[in-house]
Chains A and B, each alone.
Chain A
Amino acid sequence: MKFAQRPPGESQVVWGGDVMLTIENLWVSIGEKKILKGIELAVGDEETHVLIGPNGAGKSCLAMTIMGIPVYTVDKGKLTFDNKDMTALPIHERAKLGIGLAFQNSPVIRGVKLRDIISLHTKKVDDILSKAYLNQEFGSRDINLGFSGGERKRSELAQLFAMKPKLLLLDEIDSGVDIESMELLGKETNSFLSGRSALIITHLGYILNYVRADKAHILLNGKIALSGKPEEILEKVKEKGFREV
């Protein structure tokens, strides 16, 4: 499936191909504050897209909105996943359709063990933990309680490995992770992405050293300002910064 590079603001939706996720004219607010202002985006089957942008651009908001987190109010627009309109679906229905989100800031939930969540999807809990480079002992620990930044990210990935979603939303999975861990996790993530679609949100871009992306988008002020080949987009950002692209 091909995406033409279009000027900002023009629809990037390509009709007729194998599209996993389609976002049309999406306007989202938190309370009174408008965050996303007319997002158009299509992620094809088995495609990996990267979303970059400065702090506060609305990157996490987009991921949370795709997941259906209620605090993000869809004022206008439509979300279609695997040919189903999911704009009004609750979170768990979206998860069941095949959307998996690695949260940027995952909560501490006392009493609920990582094992409890992984075992919702598979009996091979220890295998999943080791795939995410976590000791078995983490399975018996309360979700995120006392986890380091890197351990939280690994816990998020472990849960997604267990869920086997069709579309992964990885929100800043590379922040707070040391370089050695990133290399291991990056490789594991890259192989997991095979046969799946993904939207990877990254501020620092580390993960792109390990994960092959098909397309990159720059999000600025709630809009997609530029889309294109990842290497070209990143090069432009490196040269000019986000504001100048």
Chain B
Amino acid sequence: MSEWRDKAEKAREKIASLGADLDLSQYSREAKERERIPNLSRLPNDARKSATLVGVKDDEGFRCGTFFQLDHSVIFESVRRGFEGKVEIMSTKEALEKYDWVRDYWWRAVAVDTDKYTAHAEIDFDNGYFLRAFPGAKVTFPMQLCLFMSQNGISQNVHNLIIAEEGSDVQIITGCTSPGLGRGLHIGISEFFVKKNAKLTFTMIHRWAPGVDVRPRAVAIVEDNATFTNNYICLNPLRTLQLYPTAYCNGENSIANLNSILFGSGNSRMDVGGRVVLLGRNSRGHVVTRCVAKGKATIHARGQIIGQGEGRAHIDCRGLIADDANIYAIPMLDGLVKDCELSHEAAVGKIREEDLWYLMSRGLNEDEATSLIIKGYLDPGILGLPRELEDEVKGVAEMATGEAL
């Protein structure tokens, strides 16, 4: 591990290429040690309610397993009966101890010296989840993960490792939240390995607080005939957010879908991208962003396709602006070989008056019509989730959007 540590030390002050630069010394590293709980119903009521709002069900109904980290402590992890041998869930610290081979994946997708945040996650490592779907396992119920911040002023630096072994098919729903936190920093390193013929759908719902900074760093490696879908939903105000997940479609016929649904309100500054690198023959990518900015929020919606192999990909970005907010849509197409086929469409603007009038003619007042349009704009229906999970995510998203409106 010293090699990573050395690189991290050298990158300790390395400013990220995007997003507001944060002074990491402003965040405390002293988090209270939390005890494990036997099940999620033992969570305090308000924590349980907050977890529900990011898709984490305390009764584990319609879930194959659960991981719950509170600040720096892993307080619960389980695989439900009937799913043992199909999936495994544990903290990354445990996984590093249990399996020597985990080191082969560690910092393999994300470079430890990408910026000060990746470096910080190595130097001050606070756990995270290790998830693995076994070869050929088709898991009908999603796994649920929760990264919860409760202690004011701390940084939570998690490093997650997600492996979908050959031929597996797995859904993951991750909820990250920090209800009522005055200040805080969440750094989340996520390395995804989607092996041959595997399908991994990862849906992340973020619900932070207006004083919280968030810096996820995620990279996926997608092999032959594999599909990786990354859905990111952030509908509540926060201080600053910057992420630019990247999927390397290394394999033949590999597919990467990177979808984001964002609602920036208050003074939120969101900088969210999605990058697909086409390398394998007939690899495909979609980067889809739907965003609404209101109040004094600023959203940068980025998308990049790098065509290095014979593949095709598309960026689709739409943004609605209200009040004094700003949206910057920045699609980039890098065609590096003649056999790639890359395209984009981006549209940013206010709600069209004729749409409002039309809905008002059906009996809605202007505010109600606006709300219906915004909720529709941020519809999780674009995420391609199975019906039951989609209904759940819709419920969560509708509540969050309603609050923000």
A interface residues (Cβ-Cβ under 8 A, vs B):
67, 69-71, 90-92, 94-96, 100-101, 103, 106-107, 109-113, 116-117, 120-121, 142-143, 159, 163
Contacts and interface: CB of A to CB of B under 8 A. Distances in A.
B242 to A, nearest CB: 26
A92 B377 contact: no
* B contact residues, range: 20 to 34
B330 to A, nearest CB: 21
Nearest to A101: B361
Interface of B: 290, 318, 352-355, 357-366, 369, 372-373, 375-379
A163 B378 contact: no
A120 B363 contact: yes
A95 B379 contact: no
A67 B373 contact: no
B327 to A, nearest CB: 16
Given A92-B365, A107-B352, A107-B354, A117 B376 contact: no
B362 A111 contact: no
Contact of B362 (A70, A110, A117, A142): A117
B361 A96 contact: no
Majority SS at the chain A contact face: mixed
Nearest to A69: B357
Nearest to A99: B361
Contacts of A67: 361
A46 B42 CA distance: 64
B355 A95 contact: no
B358 A111 contact: no
A94 B280 CA distance: 59
A120 B359 CA distance: 11
B376 A107 contact: no
19 contacts: A90-B366, A91-B357, A91-B361, A92-B360, A95-B361, A95-B362, A103-B358, A107-B355, A107-B358, A109-B358, A110-B318, A110-B376, A112-B359, A112-B373, A113-B376, A117-B359, A120-B364, A121-B362, A163-B363
Contacts of A96: 363
A172 B318 CA distance: 32
Contacts of A113: 376
A121 B363 contact: yes
B357 A70 contact: yes
Given A107-B352, A107-B355, A109-B355, A116 B376 contact: yes
Contact of A111 (B354, B369, B377): B377
Given A120-B364, A163-B362, A112 B357 contact: no
A78 B359 CA distance: 24
Contacts of A91: 357, 360-361
Given A103-B358, A103-B361, A110-B376, 7 more contacts: A92-B360, A92-B365, A94-B361, A110-B377, A112-B376, A117-B362, A163-B362
